[in-house]
Amino acid sequence: MPLPTIEWDKGKVKMIDQTRLPDELVYIYCSEVKSVWEAIKNLRVRGAPALGIAAALGTVVGIQDSQAVDYDNFYKELEEVTGYLATARPTAVNLFWALDRMKAVAEANREQALSRIKELLLKEALNVIEENRKECRDIGRNGAELIKDGDTVLTHCNAGGLATADYGTALALIFTAQEEGKRIKVYADETRPLLQGARLTTWELLQAGIDTTLICDNMAAQVMKEGRVNMVLVGADRIAANGDTANKIGTYGLAVLAEAHNIPFYVAAPTSTFDLSLDNGSQIPIEEREAEEITCSFGKRIAPEGVKVYCPAFDVTPARLITAIVTEKGIARPPYGDSLKK
Amino acid sequence: MPLPTIEWDKGKVKMIDQTRLPDELVYIYCSEVKSVWEAIKNLRVRGAPALGIAAALGTVVGIQDSQAVDYDNFYKELEEVTGYLATARPTAVNLFWALDRMKAVAEANREQALSRIKELLLKEALNVIEENRKECRDIGRNGAELIKDGDTVLTHCNAGGLATADYGTALALIFTAQEEGKRIKVYADETRPLLQGARLTTWELLQAGIDTTLICDNMAAQVMKEGRVNMVLVGADRIAANGDTANKIGTYGLAVLAEAHNIPFYVAAPTSTFDLSLDNGSQIPIEEREAEEITCSFGKRIAPEGVKVYCPAFDVTPARLITAIVTEKGIARPPYGDSLKK
């Protein structure tokens, strides 16, 4: 069982500061919604399922000291908290999904005492964690059949325990396959600009004793051409009704390359990552991040002043490039419109 | 006219230390073959044509103080020098091509006094520079027709003035098109692990007043998908007889992505980059570099200890993905076997 990435700790949100990994394992404790917002914005906590948990726990932190004496004022404050948290990052739908769950709990219990509603909100946030824990295990179990003994998997960014409450999404398949006695190797893209692959994925995989090779993102095509990997496996930040999948920038390119090399391309995500209100991926908002994430990398300026920068944090992989999507409920295959509804 | 990347300066090889760019413009002076070898090995000078020049000038530095009194001993020393320089980097053929030229000059003049042979060797090295200068201009002139007013070019690594004695290869087309009054924009891949795109290409393009946008390598697919670029243009380190082209790692992936997006993919290189002794690209030796180039970028460790690393410095783009190859002699189009011979 991996270290808890994010949890509730006596009135505070306790989380691993992932920006400090792999140098040091440091926990931060957020007792204000503002510090949860900052942690999300600055990727101290990241990964779609973990963002859902951060949003749920952040809502509790933001509302627990409410001095409201009636439901309407309480709910107004709750909406301010959830509205604020919703501004932290735009792409991962799990964040909005969790905020909606929290508001729905308050609405469904509007006749209860406010102290009771606060208890129920905390209970709901803990449910989000517990459900995600189970989802990770189920995703791993459902998807492990896709990985054969001796396979080598290419992954991008971090879809591991650090992105969830437990075992990860994409990495859950690998961890489970390993537990089943299969010998698995992994190539991990470093994942510029923030290097979640180099810093987080390799760290998790090495802790689990998995044979892990780090490459730069631009080496993936060559690794495929040389036959070093026989599948690509990634997580997701938002999946539209037709199966189009937003994930960390670079994922779309990998999917095109996988198709060109006849390598299957798998997505693993809990159903909370689906946004069935969107017909297709063109409607998914894509976060653009600050130029400095690219130009001031490694604590050092790496590009001349004055250069323009384009820094999309995500891209959308069209459903036609996705061999299968693994969820806690099973494996969906094309055409996704029907199998996702099911 | 760009700053001279590498030149002869009173018995020494003077070159820009490209590892210090864009922070500072520092020149190094090599008066021993060992320091030229070190500069090549550690990429203080890089780019296939510039490596040819470094090899030629390095040979002069290595042999100029020879105390040999007869041709046979002189030639033996010359072969030691060229053999040593040949070990610095394996992929760019221009390095070997220049060393062969230097040896051929000695052989053709074996009846001359050794002092005269030394003069002729220096003259040959200066010829390599002068020829490359002219080649860059001719490549630019020949290829500029491929770039239309308003085009946006995606480039990878650095195939500019810093890779040559003058105007560059791929960038020569852009500089020439700009001089012809065309409005050109460029997207530059940062080019991990050593960031030649972020550090060198953007620096050169900004100096020339060209609208330049830096991206991470893994953003290229998205940039193509969004229609932000309408061609890919790169240099080359070695081109086999059938047109298969070795260039900086990441080039092959770009070529696959360009094909998937119906974007032309152009290579620009002097004919000294062709190795007609090789039938195809599978015979091109690919340099693998140290793990630390990825894991310890800019002095900071970005990945956990114990992780394996795969770090190929180049890849080979098959001829079928290359729309055209621009040389100083003209534009070659598929099938390359015939047009390259011509």
- A83, A155: one domain: no
The fraction of chain B above a pLDDT of 70, given in percent, is 99
Cβ-proximal residues to A193 (8 Å cutoff; 6+ apart), any chain: A289, A293, A294, A297, A311, B216
Q: What integer pLDDT is reported at residue B175 of this predicted model?
A: 97
Closest-CA residue of chain B to A19: B302
Cβ distance A49 to A164 under 8 Å?
yes
- A209, A314: one domain: yes
- B228, B155: one domain: yes
- Select from B101, B119, B137 the last residue of a domain: B137
**B182 domain-assigned:** yes
Query: Which residues in chain A are closer than 8 Å to B187, comparing Cβ atoms?
Result: 310
Closest-CA residue of chain B to A318: B225
Cβ distance B164 to B242 under 8 Å?
no
Cβ-proximal residues to A75 (8 Å cutoff; 6+ apart), any chain: A106, A107, A110
**Between chains, do A310 and B219 touch, taking CB under 8 Å as contact?**
yes
- A256, A186: one domain: yes
* Closest approach of A224 to chain B, Cα-based (Å): 10
Query: Which residues in chain A are closer than 8 Å to B294, comparing Cβ atoms?
Result: 190, 198, 214-216
Mutate to test the interface with A, among B219, B248, B262 (most CBs of A within 10 A): B219
- A211, A89: one domain: no
- A198, A249: one domain: yes
Q: Is 80 exceeded by the pLDDT of residue B342?
A: no
**Between chains, do A187 and B310 touch, taking CB under 8 Å as contact?**
yes
Q: Is 90 exceeded by the pLDDT of residue A300?
A: no
**A1 domain-assigned:** no
Cβ distance B6 to B40 under 8 Å?
no
- Select from B105, B137, B169 the last residue of a domain: B137
Q: What integer pLDDT is reported at residue A299 of this predicted model?
A: 77
Where residue B297 falls among pLDDT bands split at 50, 70, 90?
confident
| A93-107 confidence digits (pLDDT tens) | 999 999 999 999 999
- A73, A102: one domain: yes
- The Cα–Cα gap between B82 and B311 comes to 27
CA distances from B342 to A168, B139, B173 (A): 57, 16, 22
* End-to-end Cα spacing for chain A: 31
Mutate to test the interface with B, among A200, A202, A216 (most CBs of B within 10 A): A216
Q: Is 80 exceeded by the pLDDT of residue B114?
A: yes
* Closest approach of A70 to chain B, Cα-based (Å): 49
Q: Is 60 exceeded by the pLDDT of residue B226?
A: yes
Q: What integer pLDDT is reported at residue A80 of this predicted model?
A: 98
CB atoms within 10 A of CB B306: 9
- A70, A171: one domain: no
A265 phi/psi in degrees, rounded to 5: -125, 110
Q: What integer pLDDT is reported at residue A178 of this predicted model?
A: 97
**Between chains, do B297 and A298 touch, taking CB under 8 Å as contact?**
yes
CB atoms within 10 A of CB A291: 17
CA distances from A179 to A268, B27, B162 (A): 18, 56, 52
Query: Which residues in chain B are closer than 8 Å to A260, comparing Cβ atoms?
Result: 256, 260
> Which of A130-139, B113-122, B170-179, B329-338 shows the lowest mean pLDDT across its residues?
B329-338
- B180, B240: one domain: yes
- The Cα–Cα gap between B284 and B93 comes to 9
Cβ-proximal residues to A232 (8 Å cutoff; 6+ apart), any chain: A153, A154, A155, A156, A254, A255, A258, A263, A264, A265, A266
Chain centroid, CA B218 distance in Å:
23
**Between chains, do A203 and B298 touch, taking CB under 8 Å as contact?**
no
**A163: CATH:** 3.40.50.10470
Query: Residue type at B223?
Result: V
Query: Which residues in chain A are closer than 8 Å to B214, comparing Cβ atoms?
Result: 294-295, 303, 307-310
Our separate counts of H helices and E strands in chain A read 12, 15
Q: What integer pLDDT is reported at residue A203 of this predicted model?
A: 96
Q: Shortest CB distance from A198 goes to which of B206, B211, B302? A: B302
Total domains in the fold of chain B = 2
Question: Which one from A138, A237, A244, A315 is the annotated catalytic residue?
Answer: A237
Closest-CA residue of chain B to A215: B310
How is A275-315 classified by DSSP, letter by letter? ETT-SSGGGS---B--THHHHTGGGS--S-TT-EE--BSEE
**B331 domain-assigned:** yes
* Closest approach of B269 to chain A, Cα-based (Å): 22
**A237 a catalytic residue:** yes
Closest-CA residue of chain A to B310: A215
- B165, B267: one domain: yes
| B53-73 confidence digits (pLDDT tens) | 999 999 999 999 999 999 999
Where residue A230 falls among pLDDT bands split at 50, 70, 90?
very high
**A331 domain-assigned:** yes
* Closest approach of A322 to chain B, Cα-based (Å): 16
Q: What is the mean pLDDT of chain A?
A: 96
Name the nearest CA neighbour of A75 among A106, A43, A115, A96.
A106
Cβ distance A101 to A56 under 8 Å?
yes
**Between chains, do B190 and A215 touch, taking CB under 8 Å as contact?**
no
- The Cα–Cα gap between B308 and A152 comes to 14
Cβ distance A235 to A163 under 8 Å?
yes
Q: What integer pLDDT is reported at residue A1 of this predicted model?
A: 56
Q: Shortest CB distance from A253 goes to which of B220, B297, B308? A: B220
Where residue B1 falls among pLDDT bands split at 50, 70, 90?
low
What is the pLDDT averaged over residues B235-256?
98
- A129, A163: one domain: no
**B1 domain-assigned:** no
Query: Residue type at A145?
Result: E
B329 phi/psi in degrees, rounded to 5: -100, -10
- The Cα–Cα gap between A313 and A29 comes to 26
**Between chains, do A307 and B202 touch, taking CB under 8 Å as contact?**
yes
- The Cα–Cα gap between B116 and B114 comes to 5
Q: Is 60 exceeded by the pLDDT of residue A338?
A: yes
* Closest approach of A321 to chain B, Cα-based (Å): 12
**B179 domain-assigned:** yes
What is the pLDDT averaged over residues A143-164?
97
Q: Shortest CB distance from B192 goes to which of A187, A216, A257? A: A216
Closest-CA residue of chain A to B317: A222
- A118, A152: one domain: no
**Between chains, do A219 and B309 touch, taking CB under 8 Å as contact?**
no
Query: Which residues in chain B are closer than 8 Å to A198, comparing Cβ atoms?
Result: 294-295, 302-303
**B31 domain-assigned:** yes
Q: What integer pLDDT is reported at residue A142 of this predicted model?
A: 98
Q: Is 60 exceeded by the pLDDT of residue A231?
A: yes
Range of the domain at B123: 6-137
What is the pLDDT averaged over residues B186-206?
97
| A30-88 confidence digits (pLDDT tens) | 999 999 999 999 999 999 999 999 999 999 999 999 999 999 999 999 999 999 999 99
Closest-CA residue of chain B to A205: B307
Q: Shortest CB distance from B206 goes to which of A222, A260, A307? A: A307
| A155-194 confidence digits (pLDDT tens) | 999 999 999 999 999 999 999 999 999 999 999 999 999 9
**Between chains, do B249 and A218 touch, taking CB under 8 Å as contact?**
yes
Q: Is 80 exceeded by the pLDDT of residue B4?
A: yes
**A36: CATH:** 1.20.120.420
- The Cα–Cα gap between B305 and A148 comes to 28
**Between chains, do B192 and A217 touch, taking CB under 8 Å as contact?**
yes
Cβ-proximal residues to A223 (8 Å cutoff; 6+ apart), any chain: A154, A187, A215, A229, B310
**A105 domain-assigned:** yes
- Select from A137, A162, A189 the last residue of a domain: A137
Q: H helices of chain A, where?
A: 33-41, 48-63, 71-86, 93-108, 114-143, 170-179, 196, 202-207, 220-225, 251-260, 292-295, 336-341
| A236-246 confidence digits (pLDDT tens) | 999 999 999 99
Q: Shortest CB distance from B215 goes to which of A252, A256, A310? A: A310
Where residue B205 falls among pLDDT bands split at 50, 70, 90?
very high
> How many interface pairs between A and B have CB atoms less than 8 angstroms apart?
182
| B262-296 confidence digits (pLDDT tens) | 999 999 999 999 999 999 999 999 999 999 999 99
